[in-house]
Amino acid sequence: MFIVQSYPLAILFCFVTMLCWGSWGNTQKLASRTWRYEFFYWDYVIGVLLFSLLSALTLGSTGTEGRSFADDLMQADPVNLGSAFLGGIIFNASNILLSAAVSICGLSVAFPVGVGLALVLGVLINYFGAAKGEPLFIFAGVLLITIAIILNGFAYKKALVGTKKVSAKGIGIAITAGVIMAFFYRFVAASMDLSSFAAPAAGKLTPYTAVFIFAVGVFVSNFIFNTIAMKRPVEGEPVSISGYFKGKSVTHLVGILGGAIWCLGQSFSMIASEKAGAAISYGLGQGATLISALWGILIWKEFKGAPKASGQLNMAMFVLFIIGLGFLIYAGA
């Protein structure tokens, strides 16, 4: 299987994760013009599962180092399989709530609140679960990123003055999603031998197998979580599964693409976690908040007509975010 051999390459993979995790929400925004988020989410989950399998059968099954996907799956300990599977269930519970928050209050509000909170809590959980990297710089980086997220929130608040109110319900759902999301990565990381992907301990999973089992957990749990979301939607009328099959092919493909983009980021984060450490891999990946803010500002023009103070706050956010990410990178160097 393919294994990252150096810390700089691991950091590059983490930046790809950041781009992917901060960009998949655009596919929901595109689909939402004609598609309820509950229907979009079925396609998203299918995209996650398909990409995880593709990754396992290609990068996870080639090369001379480590175990191939099939061999790794056959020798896996049930406890480690269960840990990765549980990580998928936890992620799906949080992500479907995040999608609901996006449908209510938009990408620009839901992501900074939900994903930002998940970053702060998740870095701490993953560091104490598998300590790697200089703690002073890790915590300093998290603190700066936290301040950046708060500034982003103030910027949006000023931009919305005199136009519309941010839904308290949407923010509450985003906060709940962020708290739950902070825990999923630790369970997936715990299923792997982070000390050596080339010669992992017996029963432990390679990152490719872990991501696939995680994706299976996401897919299976969706029959529960999304069915509940369809029967008791956070906004609008209940919908039936029959409506999903009435969607256009291009609309389904947009959702599948969204899932594949997110899973590419998850795969790269797990592949990088041996060299970078779980806390740094997760923390850099959840810098997705910065990417989603850039999408909102530059592409979706969500700050068009906003007061000057909003632009100043956003500039300060970007500066602090970049410095905070630099601290996380330096912490593992």
The more confident residue out of 25 and 88 is 88
> Per residue in 128-187, pLDDT tens?
888 888 999 999 998 998 898 788 778 877 776 555 566 778 889 999 999 999 999 999
Q: What is the pLDDT of residue 204?
A: 97
* pLDDT score, position 304: 77
pLDDT digit string, tens, across residues 178-228: 999 999 999 999 999 999 999 999 999 999 999 999 999 999 999 999 999
Phi, psi of 183 (to 5 degrees): -100, -20
The answer to pTM > 0.85 is: yes
Kindly report, residue by residue over 55-83, the tens digit of the pLDDT. Answer: 999 999 988 888 999 999 999 999 999 99
The confidence score (pLDDT) of residue 161 equals 57
Tell me: the pLDDT tens digits for 275-322? 999 989 998 888 888 888 788 778 877 677 778 888 899 899 889 988
| Residue 180 structure tokens | 């739950």
Distance CA 205, CA 211 (A): 9
Residue identified by tokens 């100043």 is 312
Share of the chain above pLDDT 90, in %: 60
Short-list 73, 61, 80, 268, CA closest to 188: 80
Q: Which two tokens stand for residue 133?
A: 């990297």
More confident residue, 106 or 131: 131
Q: What is the pLDDT of residue 168?
A: 79
Amino acid 189: pLDDT = 95
pLDDT at 162: 55
Q: How far apart are CA 51 and CA 265, in angstroms?
A: 11
* Pair 215, 57: CB distance under 8 Å: no
pLDDT at 228: 96
- Cβ 69 vs Cβ 209: under 8 Å: yes
pLDDT, average across residues 316-332: 89
What is residue 17's predicted lDDT score, i.e. its pLDDT? 96
Please tell me the predicted confidence (pLDDT) of residue 271: 96
Q: What is the pLDDT of residue 119?
A: 84
Q: What is the pLDDT of residues 224-277, one digit of tens each?
A: 999 999 999 988 899 999 999 999 999 999 999 999 999 999 999 999 999 999
Q: In the chain, where are the structural domains located?
A: 7-332
